[in-house]
Homo-oligomer: A and B are copies of this chain.
Amino acid sequence: MYYIGIDLGGTNIAVGVLDEKGSILLKKSVPTLKERESSEILNDMGTLVNEVIAEYKLDKKDIHSVGIGSPGIPNSKDGILIYTNNLKFRNTDMRTALKQSTGLDTYIDNDANCAALGESVAGAAAGTASSVTITLGTGVGSGVIIDRKIYSGFNNAASEMGHHTIKFDGVQCNCGRKGCWEQYASATALIRQTIEAAKANPHSTLIEHCKDGNIKKASARTAFNAAKAGDRTGQDVCDTYIQYVAEGIANVVNIFQPELVVIGGGICNEGETLLAPLRKLVSERVYGSVVSEKDLPRPNIVKAKLGNDAGIVGAAMLGKYI
Contact = CB atoms under 8 A, between A and B. Distances in A.
B251 A155 contact: no
Contacts of A170: 168
Contacts of A320: none
B157 A284 contact: no
B168 A287 contact: no
Contacts of A157: 257, 287-288, 296
Interface string A286-304: 0111110001111100000
Interface in A143-180: 146, 151-161, 163-168, 170, 175-177, 179
Name the 8 nearest CB pairs between A and B, nearest first: A153-B257, A158-B257, A164-B251, A160-B254, A167-B168, A160-B287, A154-B259, A83-B291
B254 A154 contact: no
A109 interface: no
A160 B255 contact: yes
A296 B159 contact: no
- Identical copies of this chain, number: 2
A176 B255 contact: no
Given A165-B166, A247-B168, A158 B255 contact: yes
Interface of A: 73, 82-83, 91, 129-130, 146, 151-161, 163-168, 170, 175-177, 179, 184, 244, 247, 250-251, 254-259, 284-285, 287-291, 295-299
Given A166-B165, A168-B244, A257 B155 contact: yes
Given A83-B291, A153-B257, A290-B83, A250 B166 contact: no
B168 A258 contact: no
Nearest to A170: B168
Given A176-B285, A288-B83, A153 B130 contact: yes
Contacts of A257: 152-158
Contacts of A167: 166-168
Given A82-B295, A295-B82, A255 B146 contact: no
A73 B296 CA distance: 9
B255 A73 contact: no
A165 B291 contact: no
A177 B130 contact: no
A278 to B, nearest CB: 16
B258 A164 contact: no
Contacts of A160: 254-255, 287
Looking at A161, A163, A254, A257, the one whose CB has the most chain B CB atoms below 10 A away is A254
A155 B298 contact: yes
A155 B297 contact: yes
A289 to B, nearest CB: 6
Contacts of A176: 284-285, 289-290
Contacts of A164: 164, 251, 254-255
Contacts of A297: 154-155
